[in-house]
Amino acid sequence: MKGIICEEIEKFALIDMPEPQIVPGEAIVRVRRIGICGTDLHAFKGNQPFFTYPRILGHELAGIIEWIGDNEAGLREGDQVSVIPYMHCGTCIACRRGKTNCCTDMKVLGVHIDGGMREKISVPVTHLIKTEALTLDQTAVLEPLAIGAHAVRRSGLRSGETALVIGGGPIGLGVMAFAKYAGAQVIAMDINEERLAFSRAWANVAHTVNASHDPKEQLAAITGGDFPTVVFDATGNAKSMAASFGLTAHGGTLVYVGLVKADIAFSDPEFHKRELTLMGSRNATREDFDNVLEALRSGEIDVARYITHRSSLESMIGQFESWLKPESKVIKAMVEL
């Protein structure tokens, strides 16, 4: 079978790979869609933490089960499925408490172990979700949208609150969508006017703020001086993440959704003055995937406009570097098999 491997920084190769072997408790899935995310882009450029080469990328997956044994989930050959790509140990303190998304021995497909940028992959049955009534495109974006849904659920955001989402990339957009789904008034912030326009059109946010033009003053005007009660930073930018402390309401919550390969410094007096709650949000749980599944089934999330670029497996290598360029205006690129 064919697959793409990232051999080293900035080097992909399309190669023949061995067929996946039948393993008890796992299913063989023919991959039909692979979403490209920031993790893949960072890995290609050598900026992804916890990463080694060579590696088969790809963790936003939609496929069809080709082989499966008897299983309690009731899954069958021919079922369309999404993959939960977070392989947790099941025994550590986080897993025992139901926080499988932050397992102490986490292995994420396409990051710590080989992913799905190939024609077939063997996946534990426990990590498959049947996506009846969804399209393959919708099935593939369950994972990135689940990251946003998890951040919103973790924050405790309530209907009627004001939420600021910093970063108008695909993860930030997912946070916006599910913050609005939770009943919040949502403000989008970015330095790119085109991404802010997309946030208005796609996520239907109430306000947008260009971070290049005194965002604190703009937020004060929008909120009557109160500032947002929940702030999500989905930039993966250390400067933005440090500055976000000063954009959160007194008594509010700041959630780091984006990951940066650096230390973050902040003013402790400002942190204490506001009595802020600072949270990290990592990955997602099955509950978040199920929540996204229901939102997609209800028509609340528009996947068609979220996916902006496409390629085949064979042509992906030639297009990948162009997707890194701001002028390409990529929101979500999708590989079709």
Q: How far is CA 147 from CA 157, 222, 300, in A?
A: 15, 27, 17
pLDDT tens for 268-302 read 998 999 999 999 999 999 999 999 999 999 998 99
| pLDDT of the residue at 139 | 98
- Residue 292 falls in which region: left (phi positive, over 0), alpha (psi -120 to 50) or beta: alpha
| pLDDT of the residue at 49 | 73
CA–CA dist 228, 330 (Å, integer): 28
CA–CA dist 56, 12 (Å, integer): 9
| pLDDT of the residue at 264 | 94
Each domain of the chain, given as residue ranges in start order, spans 2-141+307-336, 148-280
The superfamily in CATH containing domain 2-141+307-336 is Medium-chain alcohol dehydrogenases, catalytic domain (3.90.180.10)
| pLDDT of the residue at 245 | 96
- Residue 255 falls in which region: left (phi positive, over 0), alpha (psi -120 to 50) or beta: beta
80: which strand partners? 64
| pLDDT of the residue at 21 | 93
**What is the rounded average pLDDT for all residues in the chain?**
95
Closest by CA to 2, choosing from 17, 13, 23, is 17
| pLDDT of the residue at 39 | 86
CATH number of the domain at 148-280, out of 3.40.50.720, 3.40.50.620, 3.30.2310.20, 1.10.1740.110?
A: 3.40.50.720
Shared fold status for 2-141+307-336 and 148-280: no
